[in-house]
Structure formats: C-alpha cells, structure tokens
C-alpha cells in the first residue's frame, strides 16, 4: 500500500478561535476550500 493513498483525520484543539478561523488557517497551508456542512454555524469541512 502506498502511504499517499491513505486517508486520515486530524483533531485540532483551539482556544478562543472560531472553527471558521481555524479552517481558513489550515486551508492556507494545505490548499483546498472551506465549506459549511452539517447544522449550526460552526460546522465546517476543509476539502482538498
């Protein structure tokens, strides 16, 4: 199995930052787009 084919998740602990702010910061490093998913204003997903 090629390691590049693996999918994984990362949990990020933040204090005093909104999910939107954190998602945008991560997006600037890994690329992709941030979009709202789920219910509630804090539900975000980074799609690369």
- Model's pTM, two decimal places? 0.57
Is 7 part of a structural domain of the chain? Answer: no
Mean pLDDT by 10 residues, the chain (48 residues): 81 85 88 77 62
Is 2 part of a structural domain of the chain? Answer: no
pLDDT at residue number 47 = 64
As a whole number of angstroms, the distance between CA 48 and CA 35 comes to: 11
pLDDT at residue number 43 = 66
2 phi/psi in degrees, rounded to 5? -85, 130
CA distances from residue 15 to 11, 12, 19, 22 in whole angstroms, order as listed: 13, 10, 10, 10
Q: Residue 33: which domain range?
A: 15-47
Is 43 part of a structural domain of the chain? Answer: yes
pLDDT at residue number 16 = 92
pLDDT at residue number 48 = 55
Is 1 part of a structural domain of the chain? Answer: no
pLDDT at residue number 42 = 60
pLDDT at residue number 45 = 66
First to last CA, the chain: 21
């Amino acid at each position: 199995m090629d390691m590049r084919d693996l999918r994984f998740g990362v949990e990020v602990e933040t204090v005093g930052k909104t999910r939107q702010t954190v998602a945008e910061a991560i997006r600037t490093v890994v690329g992709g787009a941030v979009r709202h998913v789920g219910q509630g204003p804090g539900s975000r997903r980074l799609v690369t």
